Structure 1
Amino acid sequence: MTGTSLSRRRLLTGATAAAASLALTGCVGRSEGDYAQVSGEVPPQFARRERVVLWSAFTSANAKILQSVIDGFNGSQQDIFCEIQVFPGYSPLDSKLAASFAVSQVPDIVTLSDVNWNRYFLAETLEPLNGYFDSGFGPGAFHPRFLAEGTIRDQVYWLPWARSTPLFYYNKEIFAGAGLPDRGPRTFTELREWGRQLKGFRYRGSPVKMRGYSSTDDWYFQGATWAFSGGYSDGMTSRLDSEQTVAALEFDRAFIHDDQMGYLAGDINADFVAGVTATICNSTGALTSLLKAAKFEFGAAFLPEQDGPGVPTGGSGLAIMRNATKARKQATWEVVKYLAETGAPEWSLNTGYLPVTTSSLNSSKIKERNAKTPAYQVAQDQLSRARQPDAMRRYVNETIAEVLIALQKVYASDADPREALHEAARTLAPGIQRVLPKYRRMVTS
């Protein structure tokens, strides 16, 4: 049950440093079509086709699933070859993409996360997509809730693909053994009461905690701030050290250190599957892998509320690079159409990510899967109470790193939540001022 340590140096290097110093300067965008395509390998049978390069942050099983989808595209026509170049996660991809502008070489389509595509928008490097839609393939091909998150001033820049919300996962065997209801807690207060009831319970001969906390992702805390009527920001005005946001972190501090029923986990999935912790909050995208790994029955429920719901959307979408040539962008749009109309059901069915296209929402296979395993339907139903993360988390590149540092102090060292969040807010003030002029122009124009 040991946690992992996070350092400011580690958190503020890589993608954070690259995107902050390059992508947000506003100097990376140049006129349309003046950037070369990144190099790669084209199989001989595709040598005469228009080449499209897709940069993907998906690894392991998800990488294979996406490759299967793209293989289907390459086999469906004779004019375009789509090549996937894989990066080990969003941060390495983000760092490489920011650096690629310095040498005027870019891919054509990129899986950008929900918190970094906005920065490339501010840097004017993303292609506006409204003009590509036509009567045969329009905005209606995508879930309107998710399409809206990639739309700025009525223009679409980022299309939904691997989207998710967090779910509350609970071990049904542990809950039954401890006399807890077979459901998720309705409120954080109820979660704490259940944690106290679980105290001293042993599962398969070993003591068990109520919740394992993630040490590397603040996504769940973003949702908790809303549940306590707080948040990261109101527009670009910080709310990190507001009374309500402090209350959300104080709940976690008390749950971990006073009740001793929460802890900072190195790997929440591994601990949950091992029966070390009775519950975790993790992405809907983790559901499929958890079902394969767990040797016990578990449930999936909505996240707890408090003053109200607190459900953040997350994941990634597809963005086309503005500086590619017109021919490459048009070919890339054909890939997008195939993904939305044909590939999306296969992707959602095999990865567990939410259906985000009309084709996947209407898929009989996905409906059958949801009926057989209701947890998938829970994930779709919870979307009605979800919202995208606060603006500061999306536009100020250092925000996630600074919040993680604050969480680490509280979770691992029982630091005062007010002091930790106040320090984060103070440190982030220059970043807010750097982004603020462009942000204001964006929301007022």
Structure 2
Amino acid sequence: MTGPSFSRRRLLSAATAAAAGLALSACAGRKEGEYAQVSGQVPDKFARRERVVLWSAFTAHNAEVLQTIIDGFNASQQDIYCEIQLFPGYPALDSKLAASFAVAQVPDLVTLSDVNWNRYYLAEALEPLSGYFDAGFRPDAYHPTFLAEGTIRNEIFWLPWARSTPLFYYNKEIFAGAGLPDRGPKTFTELREWGQQLKGYKHKGAPIRMRAYTGKDDWYFQGSSWAFGGAYSDGMTPMLESEQTVAALEFDRAFIHDDKMAYLTSDVNADFAAGVTATICNSTGALTSLLKAATFEIGAAFLPEQDQPGVPTGGSGLAIMRNAAKERKQATWELVKYLAGTGAPEWSLNTGYLPVTTSSLNSPKIKERNAKSPQYQVAQDQLSRARQADVMRRYVNETISEMLIVLQKVYSANADPAETLREAMRNLDPAVQRVMPKYHRLVAP
């Protein structure tokens, strides 16, 4: 990766931080109900209903699945019409939502990622939801692990929807041909040893490597930092420079540059499906598409440990905007109830995201699918090891973009992990100091 690319990433980071700052400043002083609803189009047959606008970051197949679910909601009753407005991914949605506060026009329900919803909480832009539940729809409708991640100081602000963890995927044909066990490696050390065993092995006449890395998402490194005993932070105390976090990044550097059995690619899924790499780490949400794309049998396993497990949760959830009018929020809650009951099993079944509700976990169709394709059950079982991202990654927006720079430098340019992480922390310190006061006022126990 060249210098100009790093500079561009820094500019993107600054732009995203500015958008987050806009959201924080624009929300200040606004009272409940003062934001207008974003514009859109309502079909004539729904013109007399209460309109609810859902902003979604899902694309392609997942967008189609969500639209089918929302069509079902619109057909299930006669009082509310839900309109989906789509954005090409979380950054695009995040930028538009931040800008919408400046003009006091917001959607009603938003799919916010596991790391950007916290900033809107700090901006006091999210509706507290605990008081909406009743005897007919209780918080225990949701998986407790995921529900807890959207709860701050005993108040619920963010509800589970498209939740996931990374899985370790492996090509069973390659493993069998190379004499490797039909399972995932128990530790990162074992993964590296298997990489040595794979050296020189050719699959369909072409040499392959053990693992393909992505430089587009630091989510996976968040997990491996835990596995080595490190972290991004302990509370809001940074730990990027700790010996253990450096060791996790040094493992990746050595696997790529010393062993030459791993590499950086722009599309891990395509490489895996093509048999270029023996293994990848990717989201449980990618499982359905991988199974369709691969011409070989895919193995799925827990992520490797080292000193301890390192499994991060990810994906997105649903938040209601606090400054929407009261009648809009009540109508939105009716949509939330539908999504939790009828919609959630259909969503999980057709996308591969983890079941997040009781209705999903008890769905006969999902149980049947898991029995037929046990990779899905592996994803559910691994949830017992999972935990949410470190505080600094969730509340200091610049952390992710800075860590992407770190990974690109180490993975592509063989940079020194310790020095690269030290530089990242120097760059991040002003942002940490900026967020610290509000974090301690609104979040810290």
TM-score between the two structures when normalised by the length of structure 2: 0.98
Partner of 1:104: 104
Whether the 8 Å CA contact 1:115–1:394 is kept in 2: the answer is: yes
Whether the 8 Å CA contact 1:28–1:102 is kept in 2: the answer is: no
- Output the CA distance in 2 between the equivalents of 1:208 and 1:394: 36
- Output the CA distance in 1 between the equivalents of 2:195 and 2:298: 17
Number of matched pairs? 444
- Output the CA distance in 1 between the equivalents of 2:56 and 2:351: 15
Whether the 8 Å CA contact 2:23–2:102 is kept in 1: the answer is: no
Q: Any gaps of 5 or more consecutive residues in structure 1? A: none
How far 1:26 sits from its partner (Å)? 7.2
Partner of 1:254: 254
Change (3 A) 1:64 1:18: farther
How far 1:29 sits from its partner (Å)? 5.7
Partner of 1:21: 21
- Output the CA distance in 1 between the equivalents of 2:5 and 2:91: 16
Cα-to-partner distance string for 1:237-295 (whole Å, 9 max, x where unaligned) = 11011110000000000000000001001100000001110000000000000000001
Partner of 1:313: 313
Partner of 1:263: 263
Partner of 2:340: 340
SS in 2 for 1:213: strand
Whether the 8 Å CA contact 2:20–2:98 is kept in 1: the answer is: no
Change (3 A) 1:177 1:278: same
Letter in structure 2 aligned against 1:370:
N
Cα-to-partner distance string for 1:315-337 (whole Å, 9 max, x where unaligned) = 00000000100000000000000
Q: Does 1:86 align with 2:86?
A: yes
Partner of 1:385: 385
Letter in structure 2 aligned against 1:413:
A
Whether the 8 Å CA contact 2:57–2:87 is kept in 1: the answer is: yes
- Output the CA distance in 2 between the equivalents of 1:196 and 1:16: 41
Partner of 2:64: 64
Which stretch of structure 1 is more off in the superposition, 294-303 or 26-35? 26-35
SS in 2 for 1:7: helix
How far 1:215 sits from its partner (Å)? 1.2
Letter in structure 1 aligned against 2:280:
I
How far 1:7 sits from its partner (Å)? 2.9
SS in 2 for 1:13: helix
Partner of 1:288: 288
Report matched runs for 1:410-425 at 5 Å.
Answer: 410-425=410-425
Partner of 2:165: 165
Letter in structure 2 aligned against 1:250:
E
- Output the CA distance in 2 between the equivalents of 1:40 and 1:10: 33
Letter in structure 2 aligned against 1:136:
G
Cα-to-partner distance string for 1:372-392 (whole Å, 9 max, x where unaligned) = 100000000000000000000
Partner of 1:152: 152
TM-score between the two structures when normalised by the length of structure 1: 0.98
Partner of 1:232: 232
How far 1:200 sits from its partner (Å)? 1.1
Whether the 8 Å CA contact 1:3–1:215 is kept in 2: the answer is: no
Whether the 8 Å CA contact 1:11–1:401 is kept in 2: the answer is: yes
Change (3 A) 1:93 1:319: same
Letter in structure 2 aligned against 1:294:
A
Q: Does 1:133 align with 2:158?
A: no
Q: Does 1:217 align with 2:198?
A: no
Cα-to-partner distance string for 1:11-64 (whole Å, 9 max, x where unaligned) = 542772343321344744611000000000100000000000000000000000
Letter in structure 2 aligned against 1:169:
Y
Whether the 8 Å CA contact 2:273–2:295 is kept in 1: the answer is: yes
Cα-to-partner distance string for 1:334-389 (whole Å, 9 max, x where unaligned) = 00000001010000000000000111011000000001100000000000000000
- Output the CA distance in 1 between the equivalents of 2:439 and 2:258: 41
- Output the CA distance in 1 between the equivalents of 2:4 and 2:38: 36
Whether the 8 Å CA contact 1:58–1:87 is kept in 2: the answer is: yes
SS in 1 for 2:408: helix
Partner of 1:199: 199
How far 1:204 sits from its partner (Å)? 1.1
- Output the CA distance in 1 between the equivalents of 2:171 and 2:12: 37
Cα-to-partner distance string for 1:221-243 (whole Å, 9 max, x where unaligned) = 00000000000000111101111
Letter in structure 2 aligned against 1:7:
F
Change (3 A) 1:359 1:151: same
- Output the CA distance in 1 between the equivalents of 2:408 and 2:135: 50
- Over aligned residues, Cα RMSD in angstroms? 1.5
- Output the CA distance in 2 between the equivalents of 1:6 and 1:69: 40
Change (3 A) 1:250 1:380: same
Whether the 8 Å CA contact 2:228–2:247 is kept in 1: the answer is: yes
Whether the 8 Å CA contact 1:18–1:98 is kept in 2: the answer is: no
- Output the CA distance in 2 between the equivalents of 1:352 and 1:74: 24
Letter in structure 2 aligned against 1:137:
F
Letter in structure 2 aligned against 1:354:
L
How far 1:10 sits from its partner (Å)? 3.5
- Output the CA distance in 2 between the equivalents of 1:274 and 1:369: 25
- Output the CA distance in 2 between the equivalents of 1:186 and 1:149: 27
Whether the 8 Å CA contact 2:26–2:102 is kept in 1: the answer is: no
Partner of 1:366: 366
Report matched runs for 1:39-78 at 5 Å.
Answer: 39-78=39-78
Whether the 8 Å CA contact 1:4–1:215 is kept in 2: the answer is: no
Cα-to-partner distance string for 1:95-141 (whole Å, 9 max, x where unaligned) = 00000000000000000000000000000000000110000001011
Q: Any gaps of 5 or more consecutive residues in structure 2? A: none
- Output the CA distance in 2 between the equivalents of 1:419 and 1:4: 17
